[in-house]
Structure 1
């Protein structure tokens, strides 16, 4: 997104530094995150059909991450071209809109997941009757709509200048427009601090209850402890640096009429920290799905089931050929179709 409020780009920003690290991180996130989120999407869909409430949030989280993964090639090309946007302004706005929607949808859904886990641990009997898939679906829809409605004014109603008037850049709010500065204060407080408090509180309550439970052994309690620590540390590592930069840029804009000197010093760190936010999209499936032993076992059962099904279908086809001689391609297709139905 480009600068608004009629401000011309006067800051002397170098776009040549950090190109290789950014492209490397984006490429790794795409290579790891896309298949991991696709598998998580499928597994969570299976568990939703089995009336698992938590999987509704995991499914929505993976769906949002996959949608963002589709925009990563655009960001890689943009960084490779030294921040020269070669497509339309609308494509720039839409790509940025998808990215920041995913960023805060992910943050809010992580809060929903931790809250849901906390309710199950603290109130196992009550939550069994009160937790409903329909409620989880409505919460997910509400999160999507809320985040989209908050970002719409910034991305599409803020008199954003043409990218061609801004040296073909995209998503570079330098110098920072007043609307974006105010928005950054809200993003830091509501989009980062409050979710961080929710994550810390819910995981602390989960940890305390598990530690006091006589039904779990030391190994299981240790696993819960490290999972809670990992959730908080990953959240801080992925989101804290970028939001601290947002806050510092907003403060500099508020204190100085010309904040270009600060923008020039912090720009490289800002782009790197923005890239770090995307790592969360690749970590989420590993943290919430594949780290769970029951999920890994279910995944292995599903894969084994597919293999067994394929093996039975192949054996039935071979048996039919041995009994009736070589068949045509159409006959083999029909036999495979019959075998799959059985």
Structure 2
């Protein structure tokens, strides 16, 4: 099917092994509880008819799905990039990885667009932003990305044979993957990035000229917009730039791309870590930066502390009563013995 089907020998897997395993472990340890907490907080906000919470809830579920695969990737890397869990497990894990990246990117765009509409066109859209619309858009995005990546299950990259032990690490690329890489860069990164920068810039511009917002509120909007763009660029730009460079290099030098793949592999692995870190960054930005979410968090924390203090008091009281009852029983026992004597 392809003019060149061969594997690059002696890739420097060991150079990035510790970095990848440590990164996957840290992201899993921090991201799992953070996204679980985010899912719960956004669910509370959904019940309060918050439209933005729909997108954040979908984003959190997507991140949790991806985080569940990180231990498998860590085992794979630690095992010198030998996948020993079967072809179907490889394909399913790869499918979740690819889908997570682009569902996350598209939902981040939806969040920025929703904020842009709510801030820049506040009067025109008052009462028109509905949860049903957000649910429909989220469902469509999930469906499109899931369907587009279905070919993952028929690609040879996921097949485990005597000649192939890696999982979705075709080195060098082939023509289909090279063109797919170009499409992923353009549609999955460049266009969403443009949307993200434009909407957040307009949000910042609109709040700057607003007379109804104070300096503190303007500063909050400004720093949040900067944080959103910065996190997006740090997490996704390096990975997609390497993807673009690898695709172009293969198309220009199909017969001699192994040396380039060898040289760029460690850099590509490091940038892959950055894309993984997005699972930790999203909850911090979109939930803790929300006034309503913070209030729910503090309310929950206060209730938890109050309940904990009550439980502690009850335990101490019950313990004290038990000790007093035991002491009384013991005294009665000694009194009975004395009388019998």
Q: TM class, shorter-chain normalised?
A: 0.7 to 0.9
1:196 to 185, 193, 196: 193
For the residue of structure 1 that corresponds to 2:278, the secondary structure is helix
Deviation at 1:70, TM superposition (A): 0.4
- 1:8-157 aligned at under 5 Å gives the runs 8-153=6-151, 155-157=152-154
Contact 1:61 1:106 in 2 (8 A): yes
Cα-to-partner distance string for 1:227-278 (whole Å, 9 max, x where unaligned): 1111111111111111111111111111112211111111111111112101
| 1:175 has 2:172 as partner | yes
Alignment of 1:233-272 (within 5 A): 233-258=230-255, 259-272=257-270
TM normalised by structure 2 equals 0.87
| CA 140–102 in structure 1, closer or farther in 2 if over 3 Å, else same | same
Q: Return the alpha-carbon distance in structure 2 between the equivalents of residues 55 and 161 of structure 1.
A: 35
Q: What is the aligned partner in structure 2 of residue 337 from structure 1? A: none
Structure 1 length-normalised TM? 0.87
Question: CA distance change for structure 1 residues 261 and 107 in 2, over 3 Å: closer, same or farther?
Answer: same
C-alpha change, 1:235 and 1:4, in structure 2 (3 Å) is farther
Q: Is the 8 A contact 2:157 2:167 kept in 1?
A: no
- Give 1:293-332 correspondences, 5 Å limit: 293-308=291-306
1:309 Cα deviation from its structure 2 partner = 5.2
Range with greater deviation from structure 2 (181-190 or 226-235): 226-235
How far 1:127 sits from its partner (Å)? 2.4
The CA deviation at 1:164 is 2.7
Asked whether 1:287 is paired with 2:285, we answer yes
Work out whether residues 5 and 159 of structure 1, in 8 Å CA contact, stay in contact via their aligned partners in 2: no
Unaligned 5+ segments in structure 2 are 326-341
Residues 4 and 161, structure 1, Cα contact 8 Å, conserved in 2: no
For 1:107 and 1:161, locate their aligned partners in 2 and report how far apart those are by CA, in whole Å.
24
SS of the residue 2:161 aligns to: helix
Mapped to 2, the partners of 1:229 and 1:38 lie a distance apart of: 25
Instruction: State how far apart, in whole Å, the 1-side matches of 2:67 and 2:147 are.
Output: 22
1:79 deviates by 1.0
Q: Secondary structure at the match of 2:233?
A: helix
Q: Retained in 2: the 8 A contact 1:71–1:95?
A: yes
Q: Give the number of aligned pairs.
A: 320
Gap runs ≥5 in structure 1? 327-342
Structure 2 counterparts to residues 221-240 of structure 1, below 5 A? 221-240=218-237
> Bigger radius of gyration, 1 or 2?
2
Matched position secondary structure for 2:27: helix
Instruction: Specify which of 213, 216, 236 is matched with residue 216 of structure 1.
Output: 213
Deviation at 1:306, TM superposition (A): 4.1
Distance 2:249 2:162 in 1: 25
Per-residue CA deviation, residues 283-340 of structure 1 (Å, 9 max, x unaligned), is 0000111123442222111232344456668889979xx9xxx9xxxxxxxxxxxxxx
Cα deviation, residue 161, structure 1: 6.5
RMSD of equivalent CA atoms: 2.4
1:33 deviation in Å? 0.9
**SS in structure 1 at match of 2:125:** helix
